[in-house]
Amino acid sequence: MTEAAPAVNLISALMFLFWLWFVLTGVLLAVIDVRIHRLPNVLVGLTFVIGSLLLFVHGLLIHSHSQFTSAALGAVTLVLAYGVLHLLGGIGMGDVKYAGVVGLYLGSLSWSALWWGTLVAFLLAASASVWKASIGQRRSDRVMAFGPAMVVGALAGALISSRDG
């Protein structure tokens, strides 16, 4: 029994690092997005690659890649959905790229987490847009950073889905 304890601790540590990495980079990306309305490719890419590596190693340790596969499908799903919105002129390409990160993290949990995280992000952004309109901002001044809503939505989706089962 004592031999299994270090492995369990390593597995728990990897998942802790996985989510800590998301939170730290998410906060940094949210601040950058609010300030300059950009999500830098380097930071988005690093978040995705390091998160993927942590999740892959986790899968090796537990001898299952189903969580990694689910995460990859979540990333693809959100990139495609956000890509359509980008083509319709609704969001920027940085948001599409970051959707891959959000999809990776939420997809690693469940489809429910992916759904809730996406819904909360859009509800937050819609609320902020309505608020800006209600205080009389001109339409041209209502350009909004969507990254912060995506980060908060992802964390909310993770929390909401953890209560599902």
Please report the pLDDT score of residue 3 as a whole number. Answer: 58
* Distance from chain centroid for Cα 154: 5
Note down pLDDT in tens along the chain; length 165 residues.
455 566 668 888 999 999 999 999 999 999 999 999 999 999 999 999 999 999 999 999 998 999 999 999 999 999 999 999 999 988 999 999 999 999 999 999 999 999 999 999 999 999 988 888 788 766 656 578 999 999 999 999 999 998 865
- CB of 65 closer than 8 Å to CB of 59: yes
Whole-angstrom distance, CA of residue 33 vs CA of residue 37: 4
pTM: 0.90
Domain ranges of the chain: 4-164
DSSP, residue by residue, 12-69: HHHHHHHHHHHHHHHHHHHHHHHHHS---HHHHHHHHHHHHHHHHHHHHHHT--HHHH
